[in-house]
Amino acid sequence: MSTPGTDFALSLSVGGQSLDMALALDITMREGQTLDWSLTLSDEDRALEPDAIGTPWSGVLDDKPWDPSGTSIVKWLDASGTLDGVPFSFPRMIPDHYGYGLAQGQIDDTYTWGGVGPALPLYREDQTMATLVSSGGSTYTLHDVVSSTCSAYGVTADTTALQPNYTVARHQRQASQPIQWLQQATEATQAMWYESGAGIVYYIPDLTAAPSRTYRTDEAIVRTVQVSQQQVRIVNQVVVSRADDVGGSLATLEQTTFGRSSYVTFSQPVPLASLTWRRIVEAIGAASDIYIYGPLPPPALPIAAYELRAPAPPLIGGAIAYGVQLTFGATLSTPTGATAGTLRLEFRGDTSGGVYSDSTTTITLNDTTSQGSGIGIHRQSYGPNPHIADATTLQTWGERILARSAKKQRVYSIETSLDPWLRPGMTVDLVDVQPGLTRRLYLTEVRHHIGTTWADRRTSMTGVQYVDP
C-alpha cells in the first residue's frame, strides 16, 4: 500500500503543448482576489526562452496572453491531475511575466513563467460600460449587474450564492476597472469570490459553516502550525446608510402671504405612490388643499388631493406626479387679523422610477455580546451605499459587517501535505490535541506548492478564528 499522497499525477499544457519539464508549480489563492501562480521549469539548451529562434517554444512562454485586438485572452496554462485516484484541476492561469537564471559556466538552467487567474480581464484600466438604471417597468437585479459585466469581458460568473439578489436602482460603470464596479455592486452582500475554470464563483462568507477538513496536530499530514493574535480594531456598533433616492428632492414650495400658492413643477416626474413631503417651516398659518397634478398644471384637474380643509375638486387619477399647488392660510391658533406667515415645504419622491420600496435610509446595529464584554462601544459608519434599495438589504449589510468586525482574530498558519481541493472561503477544524481544544478556522488564503516528490508537495493555509472579545 502506497503512502497517502504519493499516487500523484499532474498534467500541464499551454496551447496543446505539454510542459513535461516542470519542476514546481506554486499557486496562491486569496479571497476576493485573482490568484498568483509561478511555474518553474528545467530549461535545457535555453529552448524555453520566448525570444529564442527556431525552437518549438518560440513566443509561447511569454507575457503576452491577449489576442491582436487586445480584448480577449488566448493564452493560458492548463493544470489538472489526480491525487490518490481523485481528479483535481486548477483555474485557468494567465501569464504576465517570465524570467530565467544562469549559473557560471552553465548553458542549462531554470525558467520561470507566472501570472494571475481568469479574472484578469476584469482588472483592465479605464473601462466604460453603459449605466444600468432600473425603473418601475424594467429593473436590474444584482445578478444582472454582475453577469452582464463579467460576460462583457469574457469571464464566467457563478452568482448562485450571491444573496440577497436585490434590485439595483442605478449602477455606474465609467472610467474605472470592471472589478471595482463588481465590488461596489456586491458590497451590500459582503460577498467574496474565488476563481474556478474560466471565471469566478461568488460565495457569502460563513464563519461557522461545517468544516471541509479536520486536522489533528498529532497527524503526519499536519506539518507545521503557527498562531498569532491579530491586533485588529473591534467595531461592535455599525451605522449603515443607503443613498436617499427614495427621498430625492423634487421641489421646495415657499409661501408667506395667505392664499393659493403658485404652481410648482417637480424637477422630474415621479410615481404618485412614492411622493412625500416634509415641513421645513410652518409658522403662523398652515398648508391645506394640497393638489397634485399630472402632465397638465392648473386649470387642469388634479390627480390627487391631500390634507383638505375644503371640498376637493374632481380628481382624474394617474400614476405620475408632475407638480403641486396648495393653500396657505390661517388656523384657529392664528392671531386675529394676521394675513401672512412662513411656509416652506420640501416635496420628495422616488427618483429611481418606482424601484425603492421604503424610506428607511439609516440603521444602527449593535453586537451586544462584544459591547458587554468590557471593551465598550466602538462605532463605525458605512455608506451611503447607492446600490441598496430597501431596509432589508440595509439590515443584511450591517449584520454581515458585524459578523467579522465585532470579533477578535486569531490567525493560524498551517502547512499540510498537498490538498489541491482546498480554497479560500472554506472552514476547517484544527484539533489541538495537547490542550484538547478544537478551533474552527475560516480560510482567507491557500497556497499550493507542487514539486517532484511527495515531500515537496504541500498546501499552506491562513485560517482565522473569530472569537468574542
Residue-wise DSSP of 322-338: EEEEEEEE--TTSPTT-
Dihedral (CA of 449, 450, 456, 457) sign: positive
Q: What was the pLDDT predicted at 352?
A: 64
From 115, 108, 11, select the one nearest 61 (Cα to Cα). 115
Measured distance CA(27)–CA(296) in Å, rounded: 66
**What pLDDT, on the 0 to 100 scale, is given for residue 1?**
37
Contact indicator for 224, 415 with CB cutoff of 8 Å? yes
Q: Block means of pLDDT (10 residues each) for the chain, length 469 residues?
A: 74 95 97 98 88 89 97 97 97 96 73 97 96 78 97 98 91 94 96 98 96 95 91 93 72 94 90 84 94 94 93 88 95 90 89 64 94 96 87 94 96 97 98 94 98 96 95
Instruction: Say what the pTM is.
Output: 0.80
Task: Please report the pLDDT score of residue 41 as a whole number.
Answer: 95
For 93-122, letters b (16+ CB in 10 Å) and e give bbbeebeeeeeeeeeeebbbbbbbbbbbbb
Choose among 233, 160, 164, 168: nearest CA to 395: 164
The residue with cell 478564528 is 465
| Distance set, CA 343 to CA 24, 252, 330, 394 (Å) | 77, 10, 12, 34
Q: Please give the pLDDT value at position 168.
A: 87
Please report the domains of the chain, with CATH numbers, ordered by start residue.
Answer: 8-116 (no CATH), 118-204 (3.55.50.10), 237-243+361-405 (no CATH), 245-349 (no CATH)
pLDDT at position 176 is 95
Are 417 and 219 in contact, with CB atoms under 8 Å apart? Answer: no
**Helix or strand or coil: residue 401?**
helix
